[in-house]
Structure formats: structure tokens, C-alpha cells
């Protein structure tokens, strides 16, 4: 046996010993760089290319059917990662099959979409963002990671950090809404939750920041559609949440399907190599989205699959999700000099280093432990955390005459298509969450809370989309005998999420007609919404006595809704995204530009030649940052420590917030800044700080913020990220339409 074979045999023995021993001791594995360098020194070109290859198992379908026989490819040693395989048994079986065919025993990496929970499902991310509570976001991701990691999953394709200003786009449900500042804070918190302090810990998994970039700006809100914007808008609004995840140490990124200004992200060298890996110094690896590489042919950017592979590797894409292009064409591209071995080595190294960080070279099965899976899933502390998150995500949009909270002495008729739903309540992208027999429906939540069951009734009346009317009379009959009617309505969970864009964002079906029938009974009607996007609710806002936005609140959703309706929990959520009056206003968002002819509303002396509609207000129905409470928060004394901010100075902003209501409650105090004049036009206001705090009834708290010149930076006319001297306004309140104002000057 020659020297090389002896070395190979030794290397295999050494690595496999780690696998069998299943524990990491300081003497058994070398430092990462040394270990990976040594391993790569033994790998053939084919073995390196295999690391760049990911196929989908058949656990969950998350894209078009792929023609690849992934099992065969694993047996040929051609696969570095598998997505959509979960559970200890399944992942253990696949890993074993892989190790038996991998000459150097290189473990497979298991990826899965764990967006807002793995088994214990938290509110959809848009709803969780409505909590404006960064600890809620971190804990939600931490719990998701713990359950997923106990079920053999190494890597989640989350957080999704796409800013979006368009509720027609179904994927707004997966993100943090329209605001860059809030979205960046949430993105950072979610990565910290998924990855914890050490990826070697068994309850942490690789994060994957997606979809890089600007996927949420798809024209007309149509999924996968064209994106075209200035570099300034891209860098100011859409990129910061991605950068925040690099600062948080996100281990991986996912390229977006869309093009930006004619270049699909999967082949965008400027985005991947120059910005992500260059400017931001990202050391992890980039995976395409599902067949995103192949889709550059349809984009008209690649002439064939080999060309798509060449463009991707040259752009800085490290792993090919399901496309099979890197597997089929990388060697040919190497031979033809279209890509370099250095590029293949760099991609391979990044992926191997991630596997090393997870401890997979010490024990490829360390995440697939049946006992641990059993004791981890659905832990009570996780369900409690999901309930707390759901309660904090509720947004009270209307509450005339304090019809809420309900009293247990009242007779309440619960109606609507989602009144006993436990399927849609956990929303889309609900990973391995149980849709039958586990989640708490509104009916279950109310029955758990209300002692006298004769006080409540539950009748659907209508379906979500179906227009059959034969159930209405029974619901009307139940409502006739009630003091209050609560209608639980909304969308199917699959009306938002991927490939779920809509031109109509009203309540679907005949739900609104049913509400009109109920209103005729002359009793207070409370509308509870289960939905994944902002809806157009102008009629409902006019005609309902109260409206509670519950999003898809997750496994414990019914408990949270019941506790909120009956005042056990005081709603404290604030909208992370604008609700338009009409879909014709979209895109509509709070941090818009002023234009040269801003319309000042009915009081404007010029009613015609202004930037306005002739058939609608410009204003939204409910603005970004808006949400009511059972408390009554009053703002006063907005004081600045100085009216002049020097280049290296700071301003301390203080404001008094009084809870003049009868309930203790949490308020999200928001600080907005307006830069009045710039070398380019500036938004009418931008969120620069928020603080969610408990204020007891009758109590006044003074809340403070700090503003420094760094907070005022933007990309000026020369694309320099700077703050420009001049006059600024500050607004503080419980919504983006806060009126309490002060001013300051930034001096040279």
C-alpha cells in the first residue's frame, strides 16, 4: 500500500473514530482551519464539488418537483446537504447512507425551513414583529432551534429579513414588515436566537439570512417578479437588515430569486462577492434559493445550465439548492477555464467549516438522538413562551365604547369560519407543527377561560372562501340571544407565504356580507382577524365596534385570543406594516418622501394640483406603529438635552408617558426623526428608536432615548454614508403619526 493510501486510511480511521465516539474531546479534533485544510488536502475535485450540492428529500414540498434521484446521488457520494428531511429516524437513516458512501466520512448537513417554530409554533414572523419585543423574537428562535436540533435539523432557512411595502405579496407574513430600523433589530435578535452563543451547543442551529436581496420589492407585489431600484434605496432600506445578521454572526445566506436592475441575485457578483463577502466580510456560505440557479435561464441571464453554473460560482454562490447544476457542470467549467479551482475550494471550505462548527465531524449523529427528541418537543416552557409571544403580538385596531375587554357575565356568540380552527391558526411555513388536534383554537381557548359555558356559543355561519349561505341562519339565531357578537374571520394560511400574491386583499368569500347581517342585529360586533398580511378593512373599520388583529398566533393562539378578549392580557402590539384603505394605494408606507406638492388634506387651500387621489384620502387606514390598548397612554414633556447636536455629541431625548386608563399595560414608545433638507430628498420621518415598557394604571414614566449624528446618516448625493448638518424634527408617540414634536440642529 503506497504512502498516500496509508495516509488516506489513517485519515479515514481518525475521522471515523470521532464519529463512533460521538463526543468532542480537545485531543480528538484539530482546530477548525487546520482540520479543514487537512481534510481538503485529501479530497478529490469530485468530493469537493459534492459539498456544493444540495438536494431535497421528500419530507416537505417547498418548490417545483425536482427530477433528481437524491438517494442515488447520496449513494454516489455526490451530496453535501439535504433539505426537507426531519426527525431523528429519517435524518439518522440518511446520514448513515451518506457515511457509507463518503470515502472521507464527510457528514451531510440537514436544512429545513424553521421560520416561526419547529413543533411549538409561534406567531408568524410578521405577527411576532408586531410585539416590538426583541426578547420575544430571540426566544422564539431559540425555542425553534432547540426543537429542530433535537430532531436532526442542523440549519434553518431563516430569518427571512425582506423589507416589504406591499401587502399583495404573500411573503410579507414571513418578514418583519416595512421598516428598516425595526426589521434590522428583529433580524439580529432572530439570528442570536437560532445560533446562541456557540454553534457547537446541541440546541443551536445554523441561521440562514434570506432572501438576499430586495425580494420584498417585487413589482406589483407579484412573487418572483422584477425588482428595480436605485442603489441608494437598496442600501438605505433593503440591505441593513441583512447587514444586521452579519453583525449577529449569521452562518449562511440565501440568494433571492429576483433580479435587481437586470441582474438575478444568484448571478450577482456585486451583491455576493463585493458587498456581502467583501464590504461586510461575511465568512459563511451562500446557498441559492430552490433551483434559483436554473432560473437564470428563464431570466434570460444564462444561456444554459452550464452557463448558469459559471455565473453563480463567479458571483460567489457556494451551494446549489436542488438545481443539480454544480454537480453536472462544475468540472466542465473548470476544464474550460470558466471557473477556478480556487473558487471551488473557497466554497467547499466555507461549507466544511460550518459542519465543523456544528461538531458534525466529531459525531455526525449528534443531533439525531431519539431520547432527546422526545423530551424536547413541546416542552411546557416552550408552549408558555409561545403563548406569551402570541399575547404580545395582538394588535387592537379599534375598540369603540370600550366594548373590549369582554366580561364573563356577558352572553357572547362566537361566530365565523375560524372560530374553531386549529389548522390555519399556526399560519404558513409552520415547519413540523401539528395542524390537527394540537393547536388551541379560539373555541378551546374561550372554553378554558370562561367558567359558565352557557354564556358562550360557537357557530361558524360561513366558510373562509366558500360562498354557501346555509350556515348563516344558525349563527344569526345564536347571535340574537347574545349581548356581544365576536366574529373570528380571516384568510386560509396558504393565502400568504410563498407563491401567494393577491390583487384583492379584502376579507375573502362572503365574510363581509355575513358581518353586515350580524350588524343588523343591533348588538356590538367584535371582529378578530387571523391573517398573514395587511387587509383592506375600511368597511369593517366603519361598521365593527372593535377589531383585534391576531395574525396567525400559533400553537397557543386560541388561548392568547381568549385571554386578550377577556382582559387577562392587555393588547400591546403595534403594526409592523401599514394597512391601506384600498389596494389602489399600494405601495403605501409611513417613511415616504414629501414630493413637491404634498397634499395637506381637507384643510389644504389647494385641493387640485396636489399629490393626491380624487377618490380616496392619501392616509392609510391604520399607520405603521399603530395599536390601541385597554390602557390610555398620554404623552407630554418632550424635552431635548440640547437643541444643537455637534458632530461628536449626543442628544438625550426624554418624554413622559402617563397611563390614564384603568388597566396596567405595555406601551411601545416610538421615536421618529425627520431630516428637513438634504443633498437628496429625505423621508417625512424615520423610526430611530423604540422602547416597550410596562406602565401601571395611573403611573407616569419618563422614557429617554439618545440621538447621535450616526443615527442621522444616509447615502448623500455622492453616495457617501454621512449625516449632513441642518435642521431636524423629532416626533415621539405610540405610532408613526405621532404629533408630539421638538426640533434640533446638527451643526458642523
Q: Residue 82's closest CA among 64, 115, 60?
A: 60
Identify which of residues 290 and 365 has a Cβ nearer to ligand GLC in the complex.
Answer: 290
User: Could you give the string, one character per residue 6-45, with x where binding to ligand GLC holds by CB under 6 A and - elsewhere?
Assistant: ----------------------------------------
The minimum distance between CB 445 and ligand GLC, in angstroms, equals: 31
**CB nearest ligand GLC: which residue?**
62
The minimum distance between CB 215 and ligand GLC, in angstroms, equals: 8
Q: CA-to-CA distance for 394 and 550, rounded, in angstroms?
A: 5
Q: Residue 383's closest CA among 140, 561, 198, 221?
A: 140
The CA-based angle 437-441-445, given to 5 degrees, is 115
The minimum distance between CB 732 and ligand GLC, in angstroms, equals: 36
Identify which of residues 113 and 166 has a Cβ nearer to ligand GLC in the complex.
Answer: 113
Does position 678 interact with ligand GLC (CB under 6 A)? The reply is no
Identify which of residues 157 and 715 has a Cβ nearer to ligand GLC in the complex.
Answer: 157
Does position 62 interact with ligand GLC (CB under 6 A)? The reply is yes
The minimum distance between CB 275 and ligand GLC, in angstroms, equals: 20
How many CB atoms lie under 10 A from the CB of residue 372?
Answer: 18
Pick out residues in 99-118 that bind ligand GLC (CB under 6 A).
113
- Cβ–Cβ under 8 Å, residues 77 and 358: no
The three cell numbers of residue 69 are: 434521484
Could you say which of 113, 162, 289, 421 is catalytic? 289
Identify which of residues 63 and 87 has a Cβ nearer to ligand GLC in the complex.
Answer: 63
User: Could you give the string, one character per residue 67-86, with x where binding to ligand GLC holds by CB under 6 A and - elsewhere?
Assistant: ----------------x---
The minimum distance between CB 675 and ligand GLC, in angstroms, equals: 35
The minimum distance between CB 290 and ligand GLC, in angstroms, equals: 4
| Total residues at interface with ligand GLC (CB under 6 A) | 9
Identify which of residues 66 and 447 has a Cβ nearer to ligand GLC in the complex.
Answer: 66
Q: CA distances (Å), 62 to each of 36, 290, 382, 428, 554, in order?
A: 32, 8, 26, 12, 20
Task: At 524, give phi and psi (nearest 5°).
Answer: -60, 135
Q: In this structure, are strands 741-746 and 726-733 parallel, antiparallel, or unpaired?
A: antiparallel
DSSP letters along 621-654, please?
A: SB-TT--B-SS-EEEEEEEES-SEE-TT--EEEE
Identify which of residues 63 and 240 has a Cβ nearer to ligand GLC in the complex.
Answer: 63
- Cβ–Cβ under 8 Å, residues 271 and 314: no
Identify which of residues 66 and 585 has a Cβ nearer to ligand GLC in the complex.
Answer: 66
Identify which of residues 186 and 526 has a Cβ nearer to ligand GLC in the complex.
Answer: 186
Q: CA-to-CA distance for 243 and 286, rounded, in angstroms?
A: 14
The minimum distance between CB 157 and ligand GLC, in angstroms, equals: 3
Identify which of residues 215 and 566 has a Cβ nearer to ligand GLC in the complex.
Answer: 215
Pick out residues in 200-219 that bind ligand GLC (CB under 6 A).
210
Q: CA-to-CA distance for 401 and 426, rounded, in angstroms?
A: 31
The CA-based angle 415-416-421, given to 5 degrees, is 105
149 CB-near residues (< 8 Å, 6+ apart): 202, 203, 204, 205, 367
Exposure letters 604-616 (e unless 16+ CB within 10 A, then b): eeeeeebebeeee
The minimum distance between CB 158 and ligand GLC, in angstroms, equals: 8
Does position 157 interact with ligand GLC (CB under 6 A)? The reply is yes
Contact with ligand GLC (CB under 6 A): which of 24, 38, 63, 423?
Answer: 63
The minimum distance between CB 498 and ligand GLC, in angstroms, equals: 5
- Residues 678, 680, 681, 685, CA torsion sign: negative
- Mark whether 664 is an active-site residue: no
Q: Residue 514's closest CA among 466, 469, 575, 562?
A: 469
Q: Residue 623's closest CA among 675, 685, 673?
A: 685
Burial label, 197 (beta-carbon count in 10 A; 0-12, 13-18, 19+): exposed
The minimum distance between CB 319 and ligand GLC, in angstroms, equals: 12
Identify which of residues 254 and 723 has a Cβ nearer to ligand GLC in the complex.
Answer: 254
Identify which of residues 90 and 290 has a Cβ nearer to ligand GLC in the complex.
Answer: 290
Burial label, 644 (beta-carbon count in 10 A; 0-12, 13-18, 19+): exposed
The minimum distance between CB 171 and ligand GLC, in angstroms, equals: 8
Indicate the angle between helix axes 325-335 and 305-315, nearest 10 degrees.
80
Pick out residues in 446-505 that bind ligand GLC (CB under 6 A).
498
Q: CA-to-CA distance for 748 and 627, rounded, in angstroms?
A: 38
User: Could you give the string, one character per residue 338-377, with x where binding to ligand GLC holds by CB under 6 A and - elsewhere?
Assistant: ----------------------------------------
Does position 253 interact with ligand GLC (CB under 6 A)? The reply is no
Q: CA-to-CA distance for 178 and 244, rounded, in angstroms?
A: 16
The minimum distance between CB 82 and ligand GLC, in angstroms, equals: 12
Q: How many CA atoms lie within 13 Å of 569's alpha carbon, on the beta-carbon side?
A: 25
The minimum distance between CB 173 and ligand GLC, in angstroms, equals: 12
Q: Residue 267's closest CA among 290, 227, 301?
A: 301
Q: In what order do the strands lie in the sheet with 208-212?
A: 208-212, 252-255, 285-287
Residue for cell digits 387587509?
535
Q: Tell me the three-class secondary structure of 178-231, residue by residue.
A: CCHHHHHHHHHHHHHHHHCCCCCCCCCCECEEEEECCHHHCHHHCCCCCECCCH
Identify which of residues 59 and 649 has a Cβ nearer to ligand GLC in the complex.
Answer: 59
Does position 289 interact with ligand GLC (CB under 6 A)? The reply is yes
Q: CA-to-CA distance for 311 and 512, rounded, in angstroms?
A: 50
- Cβ–Cβ under 8 Å, residues 17 and 28: yes
Identify which of residues 175 and 576 has a Cβ nearer to ligand GLC in the complex.
Answer: 175
Residues engaged in binding ligand GLC (CB under 6 A): 62-63, 83, 113, 157, 210, 289-290, 498
Active-site residue numbers? 289
Amino acid at each position: 500500500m503506497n504512502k498516500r493510501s496509508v495516509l488516506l486510511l489513517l485519515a479515514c480511521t481518525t475521522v471515523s473514530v470521532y464519529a463512533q465516539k460521538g463526543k468532542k474531546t480537545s485531543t480528538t479534533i484539530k482546530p477548525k482551519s487546520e482540520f479543514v485544510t487537512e481534510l481538503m488536502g485529501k479530497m478529490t475535485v469530485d468530493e469537493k464539488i459534492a459539498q456544493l450540492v444540495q438536494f431535497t428529500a421528500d419530507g416537505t414540498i417547498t418548490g417545483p418537483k425536482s427530477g433528481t434521484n437524491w438517494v442515488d446521488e447520496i449513494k454516489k457520494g455526490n451530496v453535501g446537504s439535504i433539505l426537507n428531511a426531519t426527525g431523528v429516524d429519517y435524518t439518522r437513516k440518511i446520514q448513515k447512507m451518506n457515511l457509507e458512501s463518503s470515502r472521507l466520512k464527510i457528514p451531510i448537513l440537514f436544512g429545513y425551513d424553521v421560520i416561526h417554530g419547529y413543533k411549538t409554533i409561534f406567531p408568524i414572523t410578521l405577527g411576532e414583529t408586531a410585539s416590538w419585543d426583541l426578547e420575544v423574537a430571540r426566544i422564539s428562535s431559540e425555542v425553534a432551534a432547540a426543537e429542530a436540533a433535537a430532531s436532526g435539523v442542523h440549519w434553518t432557512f431563516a430569518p427571512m429579513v425582506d423589507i416589504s411595502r406591499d401587502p399583495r405579496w404573500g411573503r410579507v407574513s414571513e418578514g418583519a414588515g416595512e421598516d428598516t430600523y425595526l426589521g434590522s433589530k428583529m433580524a439580529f435578535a432572530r439570528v442570536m436566537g437560532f445560533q446562541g452563543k456557540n454553534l457547537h451547543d446541541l440546541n443551536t442551529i445554523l441561521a440562514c439570512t434570506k432572501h438576499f436581496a430586495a425580494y420584498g420589492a417585487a413589482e406589483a407585489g407579484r412573487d418572483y417578479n422584477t425588482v428595480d431600484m436605485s442603489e441608494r434605496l437598496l442600501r438605505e432600506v433593503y440591505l441593513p437588515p441583512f447587514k444586521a445578521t452579519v453583525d449577529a454572526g449569521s452562518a449562511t445566506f440565501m440568494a433571492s430569486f429576483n433580479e435587481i436592475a437586470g441582474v438575478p441575485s444568484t448571478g450577482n457578483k456585486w451583491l455576493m462577492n463585493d458587498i456581502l463577502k467583501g464590504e461586510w466580510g461575511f465568512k459563511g456560505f451562500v446557498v441559492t434559493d430552490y433551483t434559483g440557479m436554473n432560473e437564470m435561464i428563464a431570466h434570460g441571464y444564462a444561456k444554459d445550465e452550464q452557463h448558469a453554473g459559471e455565473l453563480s460560482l463567479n458571483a460567489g454562490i457556494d451551494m446549489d439548492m436542488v438545481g443539480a447544476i454544480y454537480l453536472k457542470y462544475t468540472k466542465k467549467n473548470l476544464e474550460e477555464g470558466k471557473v477556478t479551482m480556487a473558487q471551488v475550494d473557497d466554497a467547499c471550505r466555507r461549507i466544511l467549516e460550518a459542519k465543523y462548527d456544528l461538531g458534525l465531524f466529531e459525531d455526525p449523529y449528534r443531533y439525531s438522538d431519539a431520547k432527546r427528541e422526545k423530551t424536547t418537543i413541546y416542552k411546557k416552557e416552550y408552549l408558555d413562551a409561545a403563548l406569551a409571544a402570541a399575547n404580545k403580538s395582538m394588535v387592537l385596531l379599534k375598540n369603540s365604547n370600550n366594548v373590549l375587554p369582554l366580561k364573563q357575565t356577558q352572553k357572547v356568540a362566537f361566530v365565523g369560519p375560524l372560530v374553531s380552527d386549529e389548522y390555519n391558526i399556526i399560519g404558513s411555513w409552520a415547519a413540523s407543527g401539528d395542524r390537527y388536534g394540537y393547536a388551541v383554537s379560539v373555541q378551546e381557548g374561550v372554553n378554558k377561560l370562561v367558567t359558565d359555558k352557557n354564556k358562550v356559543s360557537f357557530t361558524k355561519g360561513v366558510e373562509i372562501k366558500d360562498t354557501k349561505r346555509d350556515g348563516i341562519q344558525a349563527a344569526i339565531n345564536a347571535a340574537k340571544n347574545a349581548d356581544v357578537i365576536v366574529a373570528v374571520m380571516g384568510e386560509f394560511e396558504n393565502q400568504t407565504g410563498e407563491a401567494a400574491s393577491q390583487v384583492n386583499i379584502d376579507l375573502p368569500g362572503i365574510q363581509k356580507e355575513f358581518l353586515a347581517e350580524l350588524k343588523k342585529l343591533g348588538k356590538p360586533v367584535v371582529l378578530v382577524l387571523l391573517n398573514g398580511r395587511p387587509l383592506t378593512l375600511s368597511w369593517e373599520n366603519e361598521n365593527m365596534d372593535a377589531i383585534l388583529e391576531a395574525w396567525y398566533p400559533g400553537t397557543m393562539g386560541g388561548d392568547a385570543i381568549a385571554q386578550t378578549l377577556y382582559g387577562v392580557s392587555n393588547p400591546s402590539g403595534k403594526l409592523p406594516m401599514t394597512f391601506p384603505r384600498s389596494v389602489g394605494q399600494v405601495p403605501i408606507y409611513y417613511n415616504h418622501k414629501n414630493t413637491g406638492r404634498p397634499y395637506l388634506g381637507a384643510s389644504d387651500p389647494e385641493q387640485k394640483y396636489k399629490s393626491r387621489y380624487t377618490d380616496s384620502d392619501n392616509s392609510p387606514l391604520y399607520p405603521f406603529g399603530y395599536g390601541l390598548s385597554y390602557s390610555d397612554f398620554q404623552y407630554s414633556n418632550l424635552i431635548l438635552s440640547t437643541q444643537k447636536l455637534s458632530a461628536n455629541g449626543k442628544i438625550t431625548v426624554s418624554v413622559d408617558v402617563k397611563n390614564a386608563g384603568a388597566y396596567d399595560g405595555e406601551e411601545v414608545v416610538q421615536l421618529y426623526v425627520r431630516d428637513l433638507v438634504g443633498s437628496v430628498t429625505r423621508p417625512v420621518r424615520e423610526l430611530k428608536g423604540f422602547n416597550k415598557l410596562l406602565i401601571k394604571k395611573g403611573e407616569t414614566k419618563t422614557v429617554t432615548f439618545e440621538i447621535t449624528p450616526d443615527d442621522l446618516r444616509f447615502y448623500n448625493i455622492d453616495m457617501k454614508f454621512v449625516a449632513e448638518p441642518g435642521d431636524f424634527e423629532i416626533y415621539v408617540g405610540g405610532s408613526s403619526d405621532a404629533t408630539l414634536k421638538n426640533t434640533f440642529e446638527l451643526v458642523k
